[in-house]
Chain A
Amino acid sequence: MRNSMRFLTFLLLITILISCKKDKDPEEPPKIISSSGKEYDPTSYTLEYPDNFPVMELNEENPMTEEGVELGRKLYYDPILHPQGSRSCASCHDQKLSFTVSALKDGRSVMHHVNLGWASKFLWEGGVEGTLEDIMRFEVEDFFQTDVSKLQEHSTYPDDFFSAFGTEDVSTELCAKALAQFFRTMISSDSKFDKYLRGEVMLTASEFRGFDLFNTEKGDCFHCHSLPLFTDDKYHNIGLDSTFSGSDQGRYNVTGNSSDMGKFKTPTLRNIELTGPYMHDGRFQTLEEVVDFYSEGLQNSATIDPLMKNVHQGGVQLNPIEKQDLVNFLKTLTDTTYTQNPDLSYPF
C-alpha cells in the first residue's frame, strides 16, 4: 500500500513538473548592418587536420570564420602592413620554400611558417610566448609597426573587416586576429612520410633506415623533433657553441637567466629540405652539414642540453651511409601539397 502511494505520488509529481506552459521564444540578437547596408553574417570555418595530430587549441575570443581566414590571407600578402608599403609577410616567407626564404635577415635564418597553430613559443629565442594572436599582435605592432589608418582608408578593407568581425573600424587587434586565423589553416600533413603512416606509400630502404636512426637512440632526433609535428615546442642548447655572445646567447637574451644561455626553440623538420640555411644563424648550408654537426661537431658548455648524451665524443658518430640514410629520411618530410596549396597562396 505504502509503495502504491509512493508510485502515485511520483506520477503526480512528474505530471505537475511537465505541465504545459508556453515559454517565450528567446530573443534574437540584433542584426549588425554595415554603413553600406550589408548584414554581418560570418560563415564558420571548419579546421581539418589528421587524427594523429595533437588537438589544436582554438581561441574562443577569435572564432574562426571563412571571412576571417580570407582577410588574414590578404593581410599576409599585402605590403599595406608596412608603413612605407615596401614589404609584406610573404616578402620573407615564400610559400614555395615552405614560407621562408634562403637569405638571412639581420643575421638570422628566417623560421618557416608551418603548423604554428600548435605552437606556444615563437621566434628563435621565444621572444613571444602564448597564442597566435599574441605573436601576430607583435608582428603588426612591433615588427611592421602597421599604420592602420591606411587600411581604414582603403577601398575594400573596411568592408572585409566588417565581414570578418562585424565592424568597419580597423584596429591592430583585429589585424592580429585575422592573421592568427589564417595561420591556423597553414597545416602541413601530406608529406611522403605522412602518406607512409597512412599506408599509401612505402619508404625506400634507405629512408626506412634513416627513420630508424631518427627514432631510436642511435640518432636520437625524436626527443626534440618529436612526431608528428617534428618539434617539441621547447628550447634547447644543442651544442652549436662552447661560448656565447650577442645573438648566439639565444633565450638568455629574452629571460636574462643564465640557465637559458645558448638555447633556441626547436624548429619543425617538416619541409626541412626546402628551408636552408639551417640553425638560427644559417651557419649550415645543407642538410648534410647539419647531420655532420650532430655526428661529430657538438661543443660542450654549462647549459648543454641533457639529451645531447654524446657531447663528450662530439656527437652520435654516424658513418657515411647512416648520414645519407638520415638525410634521405628528412627529405620524406617535404610536403608539396602544402607548398602548392592555393588556399595559402597569393590571393589578389
Chain B
Amino acid sequence: MEFPIKSILVIACSTLLFSCGENIIEPDPANAYFNVDYHIDDEPLVYDQMNYKNEAGNTYSVKTLDYYLSNITLHHSGGTVYSLAGPFYYDAFGVESQVIEFKNIPPGTYEKITMYLGLSEEQNISNSLPNTTENFNMAWPDQMGGGYHFMKLEGNFTSDTSSTTSPYALHLGTNSALVSVVINESFTLESGEQDFTLKMNLNEWFRSPYTYNLAVDGSHTMPDSLLRRRISSNGEDVFTLETDLEK
C-alpha cells in the first residue's frame, strides 16, 4: 500500500481502538530528582580548609568524603513507599555528582525520606558491586570483615588542648556500622519535574547522640568497631531536605 493510505488507516484504527470505554482522569505522574550538597553547620564545605569546628572543640579540615547511599525510600502519606535500592556512590569533591531519580511516582504529600548511608546487608558483599575503580577503592578488606567502606571522611584536625595538626580518617564499614538515615521532613510533590537537595551537615557526625572528640575518642575508626558504631549512631540526622523553592 502507498504511504498516505497506510497512514490514514493506522490513524483511523488507532482512534477506533482507543475511543471506546469510559475516560478515567488521573493526575500526571511526578519525577523527583535528588541532588546532594554539603555544609558544616552554616558554612559550605570547601576542600582542605582548616576552619571548621565541631561540637567537641576540634578544628578540622575535610580532604576526602566518599560514601554510598542505598535503599532511598520516599514515604507517601497514603502509606505507599517508593524505593530505589542503589547503591549510589558519592565523592564530595568529585567532578560529577549522581542524581537520584524517582520517575513516574504519584504526586502528593510525602511524610519522610529514609535511606542507608552505606550498603544494606544484601549489598555489602565483597566484589558484588560493578567493577569500577571507585568501587574497588572502597573495598573493605576480607580480613576485616569484607564488603565495602560505607564512608571515608578524612582530613586534619587540631584539638582545643593541642595545636599540633594530626590526621583523622573516619571510615565506616561492616554491617554493624550501617547508618540508618531518617529525614523527618514532609514535602509535597507536584506533577511533572521537581528538584530537591539532600544536604549533609558534616558536623552532625560529631554531635549527637555521641559527642565525638577526635583527640580523645580516636582519630581513626577503621580498626575499632566501637568507634565505628559511635560515628554511625550520629549519622541518623546528618541529612536534611531542601526543596527547589527554598534555594
B45 at the interface (CB under 8 A from A): no
B10 at the interface (CB under 8 A from A): yes
A227–B131 touching, CB < 8 Å:
no
Tally of B interface residues using CB under 8 Å? 40
Chain A positions 206-224 with a Cβ under 8 Å from a chain B Cβ: 212, 215-217, 222
Complex CA–CA separation, A164 to B243 (angstroms): 53
A312–B166 touching, CB < 8 Å:
yes
Closest chain A residue to B17 by CB distance? A9
Shortest Cβ gap from A114 to chain B (Å): 15
Closest chain B residue to A7 by CB distance? B17
Beyond A17-B10, A222-B141, A259-B48, whether A306 also contacts B17 by CB under 8 A is no
User: Which of B81-89, B106-114, B219-227 binds A?
Assistant: B219-227
Complex CA–CA separation, A118 to B136 (angstroms): 12
| Residues of chain B within 8 A of A317, CB atoms compared | none
A55–B144 touching, CB < 8 Å:
no
A166 at the interface (CB under 8 A from B): no
| Residues of chain A within 8 A of B163, CB atoms compared | none
Cβ proximity bits B35-66 to A, threshold 8 Å, 1 near / 0 not: 00000000000011000000000000001100
Shortest Cβ gap from A199 to chain B (Å): 15
Closest chain B residue to A3 by CB distance? B20
Beyond A216-B141, A217-B222, A312-B166, whether A306 also contacts B133 by CB under 8 A is no
Complex CA–CA separation, A307 to B166 (angstroms): 11
Shortest Cβ gap from B37 to chain A (Å): 21
A307–B154 touching, CB < 8 Å:
yes
A229–B167 touching, CB < 8 Å:
no
Closest chain B residue to A311 by CB distance? B167
Closest chain A residue to B16 by CB distance? A9
Shortest Cβ gap from B36 to chain A (Å): 21
Closest chain A residue to B155 by CB distance? A306
B141–A54 touching, CB < 8 Å:
no
Complex CA–CA separation, A16 to B2 (angstroms): 11
A304 at the interface (CB under 8 A from B): yes
| Residues of chain B within 8 A of A16, CB atoms compared | 1, 6, 9-10, 13
Chain B positions 112-146 with a Cβ under 8 Å from a chain A Cβ: 127, 130-133, 135-137, 139, 141-144
Beyond A9-B17, A309-B167, whether A54 also contacts B10 by CB under 8 A is no
Cβ proximity bits B1-38 to A, threshold 8 Å, 1 near / 0 not: 10000100110011011001100000000000000000
A306–B141 touching, CB < 8 Å:
no
B20–A233 touching, CB < 8 Å:
no
| Residues of chain A within 8 A of B169, CB atoms compared | 306-307, 309
B47–A259 touching, CB < 8 Å:
yes
A118–B133 touching, CB < 8 Å:
yes
B201 at the interface (CB under 8 A from A): no
B165 at the interface (CB under 8 A from A): yes
A54–B133 touching, CB < 8 Å:
yes
Q: At the interface, is chain A mostly helix, strand, loop or mixed? A: loop
A229–B136 touching, CB < 8 Å:
yes
Closest chain B residue to A211 by CB distance? B143
| Residues of chain B within 8 A of A54, CB atoms compared | 131-133, 135-136
Q: Which among B1, B6, B130, B156 is the interface contact of A306 at CB below 8 angstroms? A: B156
Cβ proximity bits A214-253 to B, threshold 8 Å, 1 near / 0 not: 0111000010001111001110000000000000000000
Complex CA–CA separation, A121 to B21 (angstroms): 63
| Residues of chain B within 8 A of A55, CB atoms compared | 130-132
B141–A215 touching, CB < 8 Å:
yes
| Residues of chain B within 8 A of A222, CB atoms compared | 139, 141
| Residues of chain B within 8 A of A13, CB atoms compared | 10, 13-14, 17
B165–A302 touching, CB < 8 Å:
yes
B1–A19 touching, CB < 8 Å:
yes
Shortest Cβ gap from B138 to chain A (Å): 9
| Residues of chain B within 8 A of A51, CB atoms compared | 131
B150 at the interface (CB under 8 A from A): no
Chain A positions 38-61 with a Cβ under 8 Å from a chain B Cβ: 51-55
| Residues of chain B within 8 A of A52, CB atoms compared | 127, 131
A306–B63 touching, CB < 8 Å:
yes
| 10 pairs from A and B in contact (CB 8 Å cutoff) | A6-B20, A13-B10, A13-B17, A16-B13, A212-B143, A215-B143, A216-B144, A232-B133, A306-B64, A309-B169
Closest 10 CB pairs of A and B: A306-B154, A306-B167, A217-B223, A13-B13, A215-B141, A259-B48, A309-B220, A306-B169, A54-B131, A9-B17
